[in-house]
Amino acid sequence: TGFDLIIRNGTVVTASDTMLCDVGIRNGKVVALADKLGTAAREIDATGLLIMPGGIDSHVHLAQPTSDGSVMADDFESGTRSAACGGNTTVIPFSLQERGTSLLKSVEEHHQRAKGKCYIDYALHAIITDPTPQALEKELPQVVQGGVTSVKIFMTYQDMALNDAEIFKVMEATRREDALTMVHAENFDAIQQMTERLERAGQTGPRGHAESRPIVVEREATHRAISFAELVDVPLFVVHVSGGDVIEQIEWAKRRGLPIYAETCPQYLTLTAEDLDNANMEGSKYVCSPPPRDKANQKACWDALARDVFSTFTSDHCPFIYGSDTGKKKAGADASFKYVPNGIPGVETRLPILFSKGVSEGRISLNQFVALSATNHAKVYGMYPQKGTIAIGSDADIAIWDPHKRVTISQSMLNHNCDYTPYEGMELKGYPVTVISNGEVVAENGRPVGSAGKGKFILRGKSSLVPSRHPFEA
């Protein structure tokens, strides 16, 4: 007895089990799972509803600086608000080390941007763009010590792409520090050559973005990154996989026994390159990297989700306002695709899309949904079982879903700071109705409850994908 909150009569779903029971919460933690719990200060009746671990979105971009004058639409306040309303209780944005700057300082600065602004808990990944000895040998150990235990590297983008030697060096450093390496795998030089060819042909509209980086560009870089990970002997996490040829590489590596893991995102399940095809700049609303492919690749991503090839499902939320001169049209309404900032909003729609198209339409099981939306993120990024499950002692981060609720996605219902959604008009079945972070309701029926500021930084431990090495193995 004496709970702060009891959620009654719902169906509790974890990555492994489905059970009918009450959930008792005290001091922000789950403290009881049982039939007919006693009394509480507050009760929620979840009859007919699903009680699932709050979503963890382990790939989002919030308030991240850019080098081209564009401005990300969401900061930590609007981004975590939008995340909470879409069923999430933890996000992991990226701190960006810009070339010529300190890695450690970039992480500290991103902490400052988050401070006091979050509706839900957050952790951080570190992007390394300048792998100097100082960054890798002096600063990375401190960054990892501070709970930022994953490093993302880019194989494309001006001012961000690492060359092969640099990729190798970062992997050696992450191996030393027991950090997880994440990679954005696209071949920068190939994209540049393709871009010049398209410009010569006058094909500079948004569709050119997809034409400039066909899947072979992603496949080649993925294979190269996998090969380096094999040489250096580190696990590797390939982010935002867009289709079949890349999935083939991931499965090839897994078959060889290599510790290679990957994620995919809603845009690769529901959008195609044709969405970029527009006479005016409307197509820029769908410009992201890698670009959406075609129906066959959508199916390849769904099939790979169903057979557990992907460890996680993330949004890659990276919003730029369409009607702003720091957003999608920053270089003018008829500028070449190469000036359109890359990224689309999606932190709020990620889970409703996966639930509706995945669970409601029978492509994945409810337990797979929980694994892909929360549990595996917590394991991969060193937060389990504090996060990512409903168990005694876990943080009371819970999303209560109505599996029958019908929602049509529209910009007007969303809580991000972007001015459009690429999923406008999509009809869904199933939506989160009550979202609880550390025992307190933070969103109800798609709207925020209370104010920002209670979300805290989660100091992460070592990824479950990083092996424990014996001392003599160095």
Give the binding site for ligand URP (CB under 6 A). 61, 184, 288-289, 316, 318, 342-343
| Minimum CB–partner distance for residue 136 and Zn ion (Å) | 21
Q: Does 472 bind Zn ion (CB under 5 A)?
A: no
Give whichever of 29 and 328 is closer to Zn ion, judged by the CB atom.
328
Q: Does 263 bind Zn ion (CB under 5 A)?
A: no
Give whichever of 166 and 316 is closer to ligand URP, judged by the CB atom.
316
Q: Of 443, 392, 455, 444, which is closest to residue 25 (Cα–Cα)?
A: 392
What does 342 interact with, of ligand URP, Zn ion, none (CB < 5 to 8 A by kind)? ligand URP
Contact in structure between 237 and 465 (CB atoms under 8 Å): yes
What does 36 interact with, of Zn ion, ligand URP, none (CB < 5 to 8 A by kind)? none
| Burial environment of residue 469 by CB neighbours within 10 A (0 to 12, 13 to 18, 19 or more) | exposed
Q: Rounded to 10 degrees, what is the CA torsion of 374, 377, 382, 385?
A: 20
Q: Of 312, 339, 317, 313, which is closest to residue 328 (Cα–Cα)?
A: 339
| Minimum CB–partner distance for residue 434 and Zn ion (Å) | 29
| Minimum CB–partner distance for residue 1 and ligand URP (Å) | 48
Give whichever of 292 and 388 is closer to ligand URP, judged by the CB atom.
292
Distance, CA of 269 to CA of 241 (rounded, Å)? 11
Which residues in 229-258 contact Zn ion (CB under 5 A)?
A: none
Give whichever of 61 and 460 is closer to ligand URP, judged by the CB atom.
61
Distance, CA of 134 to CA of 351 (rounded, Å)? 40
Which residues in 174-203 contact Zn ion (CB under 5 A)?
A: 184
SS3 category, 186: coil
Report how far apart, in Å, the C-alpha atoms of 332 and of each of 200, 322, 329, 390 are.
20, 11, 5, 49
| Minimum CB–partner distance for residue 438 and ligand URP (Å) | 28
Give whichever of 315 and 394 is closer to ligand URP, judged by the CB atom.
315
- The H-assigned helical ranges of 128-243 are 133, 140-145, 164-177, 188-200, 207-212, 215-232
| Minimum CB–partner distance for residue 61 and ligand URP (Å) | 5
DSSP 350: H
Distance, CA of 292 to CA of 427 (rounded, Å)? 20
Count CB atoms within 10 A of the CB of residue 348: 30
Structure tokens at 309: 């090839």
Give whichever of 29 and 61 is closer to ligand URP, judged by the CB atom.
61
SS3 category, 49: coil
Q: How many residues bind Zn ion (CB under 5 A)?
A: 3
Distance, CA of 61 to CA of 55 (rounded, Å)? 16
What does 470 interact with, of ligand URP, Zn ion, none (CB < 5 to 8 A by kind)? Zn ion
Report the residue from 200, 255, 295, 470 that binds Zn ion according to the rule CB under 5 A: 470
Report the residue from 22, 57, 275, 316 that binds Zn ion according to the rule CB under 5 A: 316
Q: Does 218 bind Zn ion (CB under 5 A)?
A: no
Give whichever of 58 and 78 is closer to Zn ion, judged by the CB atom.
58
Give whichever of 169 and 328 is closer to ligand URP, judged by the CB atom.
328
**Contact set with Zn ion (CB under 5 A):** 184, 316, 470
